[in-house]
Chains A and B, each alone.
Chain A
Amino acid sequence: MKKTIITVVGKDTVGIIAKVCTYLADNGVNILDISQTIVQEYFNMMMLVDMNNATKPFGDIADELAKVGEEIGVVIKCQREDIFDKMHRI
């Protein structure tokens, strides 16, 4: 499975999760896990998703998610889980 970590960081506002999840649903990306906190009014979300049935190539989804982020004033990054796994697990 092509597991991917999506991180969303920025000033808290209404509808961040809704916007991101709608985009993912529209593009066939399955959400496996979500964790989210607010630190000093800053919204922090990390999602673990499965891109196996995504309708677009990885690069397009990453670019479009970044654009969705720009529209709502947060930074959205989309990276394969392997980079974190390799760095932090032996």
Chain B
Amino acid sequence: MINFFEVNETNKMIEEENLDVRTITIGISLLDCISPDLETLRKNIYEKIERTARNLVATGDEIEKEFGIPIVNKRISITPIALVGGAACKTPEDFAKIAETLDQVAKKVGVNFIGGYSALVSKGMTKADELLIRSIPLALSKTERVCSSVNLGSTRTGINMDAVKLMGEIVKETAEYTREDDSLGCAKLVVFCNAPDDNPFMAGAFHGVTETDAIINVGVSGPGVVRTALEKVRGESFEVLCETIKKTAFKVTRVGQLVAKEASRLLDIPFGIVDLSLAPTPAIGDSVADILCEIGLEYAGAPGTTAALALLNDQVKKGGVMASSYVGGLSGAFIPVSEDQGMIDAVMAGALTLEKLEAMTCVCSVGLDMIAIPGDTKATTISGIIADEMAIGMVNQKTTAVRIIPVIGKDVGEKVEFGGLLGYAPIMPVNQFSCDNFINRGGRIPAPIHSFKN
């Protein structure tokens, strides 16, 4: 039987170390909603999502109560809308109307985000893909809970540089459209290389076309738990350090697996995957940067940061993989700036720069995340930053992403407040040298040689 010590350990993780299940996300296929008539399509989408997800929030709350573990978010991911809306939408405004429908149904079922206002253009853009992308600024400014993502490249296809160029402009435009809210729209817009089909985390969640009709994906969390466990092994060797992270990740992931299976049973929707990501929040102690400090760095960004992050990410996976029957999604440590107090402190102290963050993304998921930059940054510069990140993903056969926020009207030295889980961020300086001629070439970067494994 379970003993006192074990019960207390679990409850201490929950009460003092911010252990929670970060999200239960239902993936819903909208392929059967397709209609050439926009109004019929919107009606089909609304009804399918409402029907599939109507019990999600209540079920999440019930599980939360029975196990005594917070389930922070209940969310929905859907088939990329560029595929669903292609037959009905002839203008960007048409697509934006679908976004409004998504926002309405998200509010109806009570989820805080719905992801999948997306296009997959890693090799080329269809007319529908391009219309959807051009509608993103309008869609994100008119909605509250819709998240958008665009896959711009993959190891198998190379990088679609036309789309990279376009997305630099779209990020800027989205910032302009939502300037009243400190360019908040960009916090709900992410671009990917090698985007996974089963990611439960926002803003990049979508329900891939390889997936079944509806599925439950769960994202666990627990940076605070890992950090507390590491406090007890200060000064010990890397062997002890790594074993401690592995064991802790195992425990955290088992909770995710339990919650995922229970949600699947109660909602009668198949279980998909557990995403092993260490996802920080702005809450004190719930920080990936703090783990790096506990490993032995003065601040995240100090020399040694990339190595520390690499071992952290690897041990989390090694511990987590055995704890879950199916692992997927992004599965790695997240390093968002605004959502992690330790990262914010590191930036403020001058320890962490955009370039160091880029290096860190080589060894962890997911990419340059929630980084605020000056509002007057050129679109081509943003495209250049995106291209660099896509190249890291393409060559290393991993998922990389960029969620960057050019805050209109603000400059280096100022701060921007997004509120809630999105936190706040200092505006970080960007390399001022031009990459215009590189971005303006047009076309695609071919797939790397090691993608030809057949």
Contact = CB atoms under 8 A, between A and B. Distances in A.
Contacts of A87: 6, 10, 251, 254-255
A35 B67 CA distance: 20
B69 interface: yes
Interface string A36-72: 0100000010101000000000110010000000000
Interface in B35-67: 62, 65-67
Which interface class (under 10, 10 to 19, 20 to 34, 35 or more) fits B? Answer: 20 to 34
A79 B66 contact: yes
Interface in B1-60: 1-4, 6-11
Contacts of B1: 33, 48
Contacts of B69: 83
Contact of A85 (B2, B4, B65, B68): B2
A46 B255 CA distance: 21
B4 A82 contact: no
B257 interface: yes
B258 interface: yes
A82 B4 CA distance: 15
A84 to B, nearest CB: 4
Contacts of B257: 86
Interface string B90-104: 000000000000000
Contact of B6 (A37, A48, A80, A88): A88
A80 B7 contact: no
A78 interface: yes
A34 to B, nearest CB: 12
B67 A46 contact: no
Interface residues of A, number: 24
A77 interface: yes
B399 to A, nearest CB: 28
Among B6, B7, B67, B258: residue with most chain A CB under 10 A:
B7
Contacts of A85: 2
Interface in A1-23: 5, 7
A86 B2 contact: no
Given A83-B10, A83-B258, A87-B255, A44 B4 contact: yes
Contacts of A5: 2, 7
Nearest to A60: B65
Interface string B242-263: 0000000001001101100010
A80 B7 CA distance: 11
Contacts of A80: 66-67
A86 B258 contact: yes
Contacts of A37: 4
Contact of A46 (B7, B9, B66, B254): B7
B66 A84 contact: no
A83 B65 contact: no
A44 B143 CA distance: 50
A86 B7 CA distance: 11
A5 B7 CA distance: 9
Contact of B255 (A48, A81, A86, A89): A86
Nearest to A58: B66
Contacts of B8: 7
Nearest to A79: B68
Contacts of B4: 35, 37, 44, 46
Contacts of A81: 2
A35 B2 CA distance: 11
A53 B1 CA distance: 22
A84 B65 CA distance: 15
Interface string B293-309: 00000000000000000
A83 B6 contact: no
B68 A78 contact: yes
A49 to B, nearest CB: 13
Interface string B131-172: 000000000000000000000000000000000000000000
Interface of B: 1-4, 6-11, 62, 65-69, 251, 254-255, 257-258, 262
- The 10 lowest CB-CB distance pairs between A and B, nearest first, are A79-B68, A83-B67, A88-B6, A84-B2, A86-B258, A86-B254, A59-B65, A80-B66, A87-B251, A87-B254
Given A5-B2, A83-B10, A88-B6, 12 more contacts: A5-B7, A48-B1, A58-B66, A77-B11, A79-B68, A80-B66, A82-B262, A84-B7, A85-B2, A86-B258, A87-B251, A88-B2
18 contacts: A7-B8, A37-B4, A46-B7, A48-B1, A62-B68, A77-B11, A77-B68, A79-B66, A82-B262, A83-B255, A84-B6, A84-B7, A84-B10, A85-B2, A87-B6, A87-B255, A88-B6, A88-B251
